[in-house]
Amino acid sequence: MKTRHFLLILMILSFSLSLFAEDWLTIYNDDLSLVRSNFELSLEKGMQKYNFDNITSRIEPASVIVLGKGIRVAEQNYEYDLAGKYQILAKYIDKEVKIVTNDQSSLQGELKFYDGSSVGILESGTSRLIIINEREIQWIQLASLPDNFYTKPTLAWNLIADKKGKYPLSLSYLSGGFSWNVTYNAVWDDENLALNSWVTINNTSGKAFEDVNLKLIAGDVNRIRERYKTFARNEMYDMVEGIAMGAAAPSFEEKAFHDFHMYSLDQKVSFANNQTKQLELYPLQNVSAEGIYEYRVYSNEIRSIIQFMNTEDAGLGKPLPKGVIKVYKQDDDSNMEFIGEDSIDHTGRNEEIRINTGKAFDLVGITTTVESKTISNRVYEKEMMITLKNNSKEDKRINVVYDLSSNAKIIKSDLRYAFDEVKRTINYVVTLSANEETSFNFRERTEW
């Protein structure tokens, strides 16, 4: 019984420690991330120096927030002049060094300068200034490492502790070096899109992250930089929001957050530095869609477009972060073939999404200006002829779109059209049989 109680106490203690030792990472679209960490420091009573180097190399020092009970940060310096030949020698100016050249001769004296291509030494005993080309130097011996020698970006703190002991600290800062984007892979069967979405995360921050709680923010970052600093400060003492259980695949939970959307991964994840990681954003969605052909007047192509509404009725209804949609289609031999791709912006629920998969090979659209005429100083008219050709073996329906300026209107048209007052476009729908060609005219009047 005592053994069981002892093991239970150990489990509780280890669980409590794991709850505190946590890292959180929130990544935005615009090379910006928020890093939050909870950890413990063993400190002596009073003021002392502490170098903390478990940070990214892209940290924004002015954004650093450190909080802890019974401890105060009296001074903070960000040391980023990292160790390298130039940096070390620059700190050894007027100090004793020994140089051995390629012919094994040696020289000892005070280092007076180093400019990257040559070294100046005030020789011991003679006080002669000797300049040596760097290419002639085999190695340089220093008496000791400089006091302010840093191999990694470091926050150098002067800390004041109330008493000797272990102190829990919470640290947050903004950093560059993280980015994320979404790739949507879709299979098109002329009626539905089987849509799968993947998040690609790139870590070039200079730091690896182990078992971090991950959040992604989709939205216009420049609207939230300062606001999110306040949000981070308010959340600094929050503990773990949830523990992932079982062996289920990681998945993102989406929720609205201020003017944008947040995607929280339900399991912890690890990132090596200079690593690209892919995670599933949403499970497979079957979306009802429509394929259309669109010809914009005066353009040189008829585009093949797949369009759908981002609604639950259509099979989706989820906020979609900006990204690239790649579309595939099954051939007669049951193999998937790539048919095109397009980019989308951040798209909320109930919005239309249009995917331009490319130019329709067998469809041709031509615009000819039949007549342009100045009626008066304030009135101008232009008549256009639209010629459409269907060189395929199937019937095709083509949407012809023309953009009207704010002071223009159509005064004559061979065919009926629809007018979109918001977009100020006129839209013709023309159906062509296989190997058919047709033409129609319309006339535009512009008044000033």
Domain residue extents for the chain = 85-142, 363-447
- Cβ 14 vs Cβ 203: under 8 Å: no
What is the reported pLDDT for 221?
54
Q: Report the distance separating Cα 61 and Cα 136, nearest Å.
A: 40
Angle at 322 between CA 212 and CA 243, to 5 degrees: 25
Fold of 85-142: SH3 type barrels. (2.30.30)
Q: Report the distance separating Cα 267 and Cα 243, nearest Å.
A: 7
Asked if CATH classification 2.60.40.1170 holds for the domain at 363-447, the reply, yes or no, is yes
What is the reported pLDDT for 241?
32
- First-last CA distance in the chain: 95
- Cβ 217 vs Cβ 28: under 8 Å: yes
85-142 shares its CATH topology with 363-447: no
Q: Tell me whether strands 23-27 and 209-218 are parallel, antiparallel or unpaired.
A: parallel
Q: Tell me whether strands 408-413 and 418-420 are parallel, antiparallel or unpaired.
A: unpaired
Which residue shows structure tokens 């095109």?
Answer: 340
- Residue 25 tokens read as 């990472």
What is the reported pLDDT for 81?
66
Angle at 56 between CA 173 and CA 225, to 5 degrees: 35
Q: Which residues of the chain have a pLDDT value below 70?
A: 1-21, 81-83, 145-148, 220-251
Q: Report the distance separating Cα 36 and Cα 154, nearest Å.
A: 16
Backbone angles phi and psi of 258, in degrees to 5: 55, -125
- Cβ 161 vs Cβ 68: under 8 Å: no
Q: Report the distance separating Cα 175 and Cα 84, nearest Å.
A: 23
What is the reported pLDDT for 249?
56
Angle at 145 between CA 144 and CA 150, to 5 degrees: 175
2 three-class SS: helix
pLDDT tens digits for range 172-226: 999 999 999 999 999 999 999 999 999 999 999 999 999 999 999 987 655 344 4
The reported pTM is 0.72
What is the reported pLDDT for 190?
95
Pseudo-torsion of CA 239, 243, 249, 250, nearest 10°?
-10
What is the reported pLDDT for 260?
75
Q: In the 8-state DSSP scheme, what is residue 222?
A: G
What is the reported pLDDT for 289?
98
